[in-house]
Structure 1
Amino acid sequence: MKYFWLFLCFLITNSFVAQTKIKGQVIDFDSKVPIAFASITYNNKKLHADWEGKFTIEVKDYKLPIKVNFKGYYEKITYPEPKTINITIKLVTDLNEKKPEIFTENKVNNIIKKVIENRKSNDPEKSLSSFQYKNYEYVQVTANPDSISSKIDTIYKKRLLRKPIIKLDSTNYKFKKFSEKQHLYQTEKVNLIQHTQKQSKETILATRMAGFQQPVYEYLGLKLISYSVYENPFEILEIPVQNPISNFGRRLYNYKLIDTVKIEGRSTYRIYFEPKKLNANRLRGLLYIDSQNYAIAKAHFRIYGVVNINATYTFDYRKDIAIWFPKNRKFRVSKGNNHEDIKILGGTIKFSSDLEELESKNATDQAYVNIESTPFDIEINKDITISKPRVKIEVPEKSLKRDNEYWSSFKKDSLDKRKLRTYTSIDSLSLSERIEHKVFLGRKIINGYFPISIFDVDLRSIVKFNNFEGFRLGLGATTNTKWSEKYKVAFYGAYGLKDDELKFGITPSYLVDKKTETWVSASYSNDIFEIAQTNFVTDSRRFKIYDPRPINISTFYNNKLSVLSLESKLFPKTTSYFGISHNEIQPLFDYTFINDNQAYTKYTIAAAQFALQWNPFSNYMQTPMGKIEYEKRHPKFSLQLTQTLPSILDNDFTFTKVDFKTYYELPYLSGQKSSVLLQTGIAFGDVPITHLYSIVPNNLNREAILQRITFAGKNSFETMYFNEFFSNKYASLQLKHTFNKIRLGYKINPEFTIVTRMAVGSNNKNNQHIGIAYKTLEKGFFESGVECNKIFKGFGLVAFYRYGENQLANFDDNIAIKISYYLDLGL
């Protein structure tokens, strides 16, 4: 009995001195970004948060305050509360503090300098003569069932001028049950990475995707994060950011030496880095630097913004070559401070931020993406033969047909029963909902076709409208691979209700070489074309519901066109075209061209044309379906040369045209993007107005602003009137910056873009063109405006203002207001 009382006294005494552990996280009040190594004081004891702003304290007295301090912020004082074991402390920026960043100390600055100086000797891609390894990569879209509420909510759906509808929402409950049984999505691949001092290549050895017999090849080339920690710029979600161990990166980041730790028996510096602008969404992280050779032995990276990203790199130290070689790479993506859905593989998956442990109303906000890749069978400094070095990634046919026995050798977690269920259930779902067919159909539609049996129907030829033809009704199609892989025939017919004329065309083609996608084609057409327009024959075809500019155009010419052409992707990263054409041209407006004292109201042009599309910074993948540009990088360049053929095929004029275009697009991690389009052309010789340059005008010559409201073009000059300027040489520059969408409610989410366009040109043979009055561009043309796109159901409004030497006398005439439309196919 005495032992019982002794035990009871022990329990009572222990309860009086009991302590409660509280976990907390320090974040920025505005950006919700964690504040690393903030100072926390409680009960006269001081500690620091970790690099993710997290800390743990033992609370003895709830009356004692928790004080949090960090340079550049006001002190935050809070009191712990009983039964609350997780707290989030938000610090407010001190606007009176002139320099709120952590100053880089000399010691850590010298360490980073030595890391930069020794990059070449520590980077395996630079220091080793060659290496190759196999790599297993597993991608998983999943959710933690424990973080999802199973309750059934009551929702009120508002209706205009009617009573709201009350419904029971069981989404959370169903999602929790689903995620308990399986992952949302998964895919695996095994690839062979080969690298020499001159080139590198990836060969897919095996791949499988839940729900697909044939993989989505674009995924196989998806580069969510750089393979090498030394790469600059460092890529995250295919967006370049400055590497913290680059020379320029030192201007953007501050560094702090935390301590030294042992990795594989070698002493390493643990260094934290963050942007000098604390609210920036650039990289933050920890670098473990070998104290002897200043190589990276381990790395953690975090980004907080539109998406939250967490990446971890681990390395093995190879004593035989004194190199830290990649061992494992983990990558996680979750929803950040964005309000828009993040799309993966054509399907919409919603991610949530993990900064605050708040229960989300939307169950799918708990979903996240995990990627893990592990090298094996590593060979270093051996003779390596890289086959087909012209393509960056190769997908052999056999890689798509690996059996379960092959994949079983890569099982890492036998306890993950959800993994196997994911393949079987999603395969069944794919069959029932024909997901694979929808992806195939999407590829066709995005290029403007709809497959029906052996034909792909041309969606852009069905209905059109312009001032000359009125409504143009037509039907066009091309044969597909179900008919033949070697031969194809494209054809169309159209009828204008206003001009009462039939137009048609036919193009048979033969595939000379499948690997280089070399086609020989012969075509004939009898159709009308807009005057003074330059079309680059190598431009990719993209689907449009309508082409807005021709709606208001009246000046066309009829062309009986015969062409013999060769198109190929023989040279790396290029698409080339060569053709010989015969054109019988009849202007369909009052026009006479004077050349060598002879008047022409119709004429014949025989010409040779060479065109080249060069994407030097893009990467390509060779698949059983052909070559795919899987990594589209900028800038891209287009060059087109046209030369008439004197005294051949009844050619009437001698002239030469040289056209050039380059496009550059820069995306940002914030979701915004900037773009630059430079286009120029020059024509030598005797050039009729049908083949001059009018620089894509898109404005009607009417008095009132509202009378000039039409649809805006993609890259057209919205304040330039049709047929106002013609040039035999010109240069144009277009600058754009697109901001993130703004949520205004009720599906109204406008996307704002600021645009500036300018052009300059000349025409030194104006007296050759009779019947049409126009101006020239020696003094330049300038317009700027704002596009408010995708306000509702894809529709938006744009407004532009014309200024400079070619500004018009009446203020109203310089203003253009247009309607924009963007079709989102979700592909």
Structure 2
Amino acid sequence: MNRIGLFLCLLLGLLTPGYAQQLYKGVVRDARTREPLAFVSLAVQGTKQGTLTDLDGRFQIKATAGQTLLVSYVGYQPRAVRLADEGDLLRIDLVPTVTQLSEVVVRPGENPAWAIVRNVLKNRSRNDPEAYSTYTCKTYNKSYYTIDNFVTDTSTEAYRNQVKRRPYSPMLMEAFTSQMHVWLKESVTEIRYQRPNQRKEIILATKSSFPGDFSMGITPTDFQPFGFYQEIIQLPIMERNYLNPIAEGTFSRYDFAIEDTLFHEHDSTYVLSFQPFPNKHFEGLKGVVYINTDGYAIENIIAMPADTNQKVWFRVQQQYQRLGGRWFPDWLQTDLKMPLAKSSTKLDVLIRNRSQVTEVQINPILPMKSFDHLTREQRPGAASTPDSVWQRLRADSLDHRERASYAMWDSLPQLRRIGRFLHGFSDVMQVLTTGTLEGGAVDLVVADLLRWNQYEGTRLGLGVQLTPPPLPWAKLYGYAAFGTADKALKYGGSLEANLLPRRDLRLGVSYRQDIAEPGQLTSLSQSLIVLGRPQPRNWLRSRMDSVQAWRVDGYFRPLPHVQLNLYGWREYRQVTSYPYQFSVESVNPHRFYNSELGLNVRIAPREQMQKAGKLETILAGSFPIVDVQVAIGIPALGGQFTYTKTVVQVDDEVVSKALGTSRFRLLGGWLNGTVPYPYLFGAPGSSAGGNGFYYYSPNTFQTMGLYEFASDRFAYLFWEHNFGRLLFRLKTKYSQPEISVSQHVGFGQLSNRKPHEPLVFRTLEKGYYESGLSVYNLLRFPFMQSLYMGLGGSVFRRWGPNQFPLARDNYAYRLTVTLSI
């Protein structure tokens, strides 16, 4: 063809728009709710050209006018859209089918989807981010709390009275339902990871629409796992575990169906739906997973709870990106919906967290200084990042409602009352996570305000801590308390210097004039954990000593998850309220001087800690946790007793896909030397006598008296296995029994009993055995419409050589109260 002919052909092509490709953009939505649909398949008919929508339902695709766009999505009727000449924004609405997922069917032979899932499991180690040696990335996170599906009956008297009391309430609801979000939160984090347990999240910038926010920076791991390959999918914000459909043994639990196959230029994507088989009693998920044949990796996944009785609904959506032959999270989004109702008003609280992952590096070399004991740390000044910097940090711009969420809290005077409520809520969250309430220069220690036990009665007190302005590395603490039953004043204080924060190197000195229960163990775990299961045994304590003590402590972390505490103390202790005398020559039978040097070691390889400002708290306590104490009595420091002591405590939890969760505590101790009763090991009993109902006190013998046994060497095992709802599941939402079995065992001996007479206590040479059966959530009642309050009970039986002659005396009954979704 000559040049003139070639020119005419090119000109004809330019003048024939019907055959020229152009870029079509659009959005796919649910036809009924108008909600955008993520990961919808769009393909140009007759070609291998196709794409998927993003998390906002948006797409763009090149095609020629006149061609047909085939749109398909699991749970929706497919559509064919003929493309017009104009490249206007396409709005495609899909109509849901009657059933959101395919019915479970019995197929002849093997399910064809199984071969695909087997390949995913085979390649899990090369596609799971947690299986990489190291990685680093940054995330931009945006979370909002908003009101959805608001309905109120304006004809009721309750509504009229509300408007009469608060004329501005209709305006406020209009603002919250259509103009702004109740709470908008943004953060930018840097994430470092090193297999198996080293993780560091640095909050570089954080911004909240509400000034009193104590939630710190939001990160993806608060709402969903960073990757969807774990055997157990843990949702920290839900406090519930779900069995992953992409896990070993899944074919006996989940049904899979091939819904679609998307063809690309070099690979293809299988679209599989999944849901639990009928009558399977486990916490399961349902949804859709997209498997790319390049490495048989998860490309996209949508998962939600299969339990329709669950009060709090959620949906997890994850999108992955291909990086040099590997796959890594790209976008993460979790939606949670909690229903609330009051009289004639109903609404849903919708929480959405979205994270974009950028600047990913896989298997970089990370120096040891990249990690320390803090899993999450907020950089100084992160909360004061200027708006000009946020314009650059955001993955996408804020929409009108999001911008209004920042502006309207300050511009609407009617929001101030709600603002005060949210300030109070933020203060409560701070108390729950740190045990303190910030008051500017002085922080209030909430645990010191009010306590109760049988010896002191009501203990009223005040505890404060502060950092002196000239000494930013120091912390001062002081307290005073008074018991209404013992009529005694207690007080104490401490000074601590943080010399090397990255290694948690601290030195402290303290003094206290207080009371102490005899025979109690101490460990670093007890001093670190602020939150945890309540210990009702503390309310029953009736035997106390008066103690005056000086103590010096040094703390250090040689490794991020290993903490050392070298200590020394000297105390004067006096027996007060129980008939005891120590029958040893040259020692007062009721008053003792003792001094001790010791080393505490705590190992918690999976524990997560956070720091914001001057507050440092445990973000998540993960097992195993090992506590070791080695100590010696030193008469040269003013004490009267020579001894050596070793105590070991191991806490662990094992989660089984098929059997539930086992949690156990193993303790052992050995003391060599003759010491008074207060320094022996008291067995942890929690029965105050009688057969009435009491609250369950974890890691104690429920049928054993508080001061029934003592020893100078011991071994205890506390084991509880919760089957959850794996054994059976009722169809009614008002009763969802969870069965738990317990076994507690104790051994102990005392080398020399004579010095402790006439005090009556027993030893455990022949062993102590206790078995229990618990039923949680036997009855469930809606609580605030978004949760269930569950009532249940436990029964424990004492058996073996130390059981009582009367059968009824060997039983203990406990009441259990739980909150669940």
Would you call these one fold, judging by a TM-score over 0.5? Answer: yes
Q: 1:203-352 alignment to 2 at 5 Å?
A: 203-212=202-211, 216-217=215-216, 219-220=218-219, 222-237=221-236, 239-263=240-264, 266-277=267-278, 280-291=282-293, 293-305=295-307, 306=310, 307-317=312-322, 321-335=324-338, 350=340
> How far 1:660 sits from its partner (Å)?
2.8
Alignment check: 8 A CA contact 2:653 2:664 kept: yes
Q: 1:464-503 alignment to 2 at 5 Å?
A: 468=455, 471=457, 475-481=461-467, 485-495=472-482, 501-503=488-490
1:802 is paired with a residue whose SS is strand
Q: Distance in 1 between matches of 2:529 and 2:375?
A: 24
Counterpart among 113, 116, 121 of residue 116 in structure 1 = 121
TM value normalised by structure 2: 0.71
Alignment check: 8 A CA contact 2:664 2:717 kept: no
Q: Distance in 2 between matches of 1:102 and 1:608?
A: 70
1:186 corresponds in structure 2 to 184
Q: Distance in 1 between matches of 2:698 and 2:628?
A: 21
Counterpart among 720, 725, 728 of residue 735 in structure 1 = 720
2:472 is paired with a residue whose SS is coil
Residues 723, 659 of structure 1: alpha-carbon distance in 2 compared, 3 angstrom cutoff? same
Alignment check: 8 A CA contact 1:559 1:584 kept: yes
1:12 corresponds in structure 2 to none
Residues 410, 585 of structure 1: alpha-carbon distance in 2 compared, 3 angstrom cutoff? closer
1:183 is paired with a residue whose SS is coil
> How far 1:380 sits from its partner (Å)?
6.2
Q: 1:411-490 alignment to 2 at 5 Å?
A: 416-426=399-409, 429=415, 432-433=419-420, 435-436=422-423, 439-440=426-427, 442-444=429-431, 448-449=435-436, 454-461=441-448, 468=455, 471=457, 475-481=461-467, 485-490=472-477
1:533 is paired with a residue whose SS is coil
Q: 1:643-662 alignment to 2 at 5 Å?
A: 643-645=632-634, 647-662=635-650
1:804 corresponds in structure 2 to 799
Residues 138, 441 of structure 1: alpha-carbon distance in 2 compared, 3 angstrom cutoff? closer
Counterpart among 708, 716, 735 of residue 724 in structure 1 = 708
User: What residue ranges of structure 1 are gaps of 5+ in the alignment?
Assistant: 1-21, 26-49, 59-84, 94-98, 158-163, 336-340, 342-349, 353-359, 741-747
1:610 corresponds in structure 2 to 599
Write the deviation string for residues 237-271 of structure 1: whole angstroms up to 9, x where unpaired: 46554443333445533333334212465222333
User: What residue ranges of structure 2 are gaps of 5+ in the alignment?
Assistant: 1-29, 34-71, 81-94, 726-733, 784-788
Task: Please tell me whether residue 369 in structure 1 is matched to residue 351 in structure 2.
Answer: yes
2:515 corresponds in structure 1 to 528
> How far 1:53 sits from its partner (Å)?
4.7
> How far 1:580 sits from its partner (Å)?
0.8
1:813 corresponds in structure 2 to 809
Q: Distance in 2 between matches of 1:106 and 1:135?
A: 38
Write the deviation string for residues 618-665 of structure 1: whole angstroms up to 9, x where unpaired: 2334544354433432233322222212x4124333322222333346
Q: Distance in 2 between matches of 1:506 and 1:623?
A: 24
Write the deviation string for residues 165-199 of structure 1: whole angstroms up to 9, x where unpaired: 99999989963553111123222222334557786
Identical-residue share of aligned pairs (%): 19
- Bigger shift: residues 417-426 or 713-722: 713-722
> How far 1:437 sits from its partner (Å)?
6.9
TM value normalised by structure 1: 0.71
Counterpart among 468, 483, 493 of residue 506 in structure 1 = 493
Q: Distance in 1 between matches of 2:589 and 2:266?
A: 87
Give the partner amino acid of 2:744: M
Q: Distance in 1 between matches of 2:384 and 2:603?
A: 34
Residues 425, 266 of structure 1: alpha-carbon distance in 2 compared, 3 angstrom cutoff? same
Alignment check: 8 A CA contact 1:615 1:636 kept: yes
Residues 750, 450 of structure 1: alpha-carbon distance in 2 compared, 3 angstrom cutoff? farther
> How far 1:731 sits from its partner (Å)?
0.8
CA RMSD of aligned residues (A): 5.0
1:113 is paired with a residue whose SS is helix
1:723 is paired with a residue whose SS is coil
- Bigger shift: residues 267-276 or 166-175: 166-175
2:383 corresponds in structure 1 to 400
Q: 1:535-554 alignment to 2 at 5 Å?
A: 535-539=522-526, 540=528, 542=530, 549=537, 553-554=541-542
Write the deviation string for residues 458-514 of structure 1: whole angstroms up to 9, x where unpaired: 55555656555x546554423313665333433344455665654443333333334
Task: Please tell me whether residue 136 in structure 1 is matched to residue 140 in structure 2.
Answer: yes
Alignment check: 8 A CA contact 2:138 2:188 kept: yes
Residues 149, 438 of structure 1: alpha-carbon distance in 2 compared, 3 angstrom cutoff? closer
1:558 corresponds in structure 2 to 546
Counterpart among 693, 700, 723 of residue 681 in structure 2 = 693
Give the partner amino acid of 1:625: K
Counterpart among 725, 745, 764 of residue 759 in structure 1 = 745
Alignment check: 8 A CA contact 1:559 1:583 kept: yes
Task: Please tell me whether residue 775 in structure 1 is matched to residue 762 in structure 2.
Answer: yes
Residues 151, 121 of structure 1: alpha-carbon distance in 2 compared, 3 angstrom cutoff? same
Write the deviation string for residues 183-216 of structure 1: whole angstroms up to 9, x where unpaired: 2322222233455778664433322122137762
Residues 755, 369 of structure 1: alpha-carbon distance in 2 compared, 3 angstrom cutoff? same
Alignment check: 8 A CA contact 1:334 1:351 kept: no
Alignment check: 8 A CA contact 2:356 2:395 kept: no
> How far 1:422 sits from its partner (Å)?
0.8
Q: Distance in 1 between matches of 2:582 and 2:501?
A: 45
Alignment check: 8 A CA contact 1:252 1:275 kept: yes
Residues 53, 614 of structure 1: alpha-carbon distance in 2 compared, 3 angstrom cutoff? same
Give the partner amino acid of 1:520: L
1:648 is paired with a residue whose SS is helix
Give the partner amino acid of 2:387: N
Write the deviation string for residues 725-761 of structure 1: whole angstroms up to 9, x where unpaired: 2222131314264979xxxxxxx99998856352312
1:62 corresponds in structure 2 to none
Q: Distance in 2 between matches of 1:683 and 1:545?
A: 29
Give the partner amino acid of 1:185: W
> How far 1:669 sits from its partner (Å)?
12
Q: Distance in 2 between matches of 1:265 and 1:795?
A: 54
Alignment check: 8 A CA contact 2:144 2:351 kept: yes
Give the partner amino acid of 1:314: Q
Alignment check: 8 A CA contact 2:189 2:219 kept: no
> How far 1:301 sits from its partner (Å)?
2.6
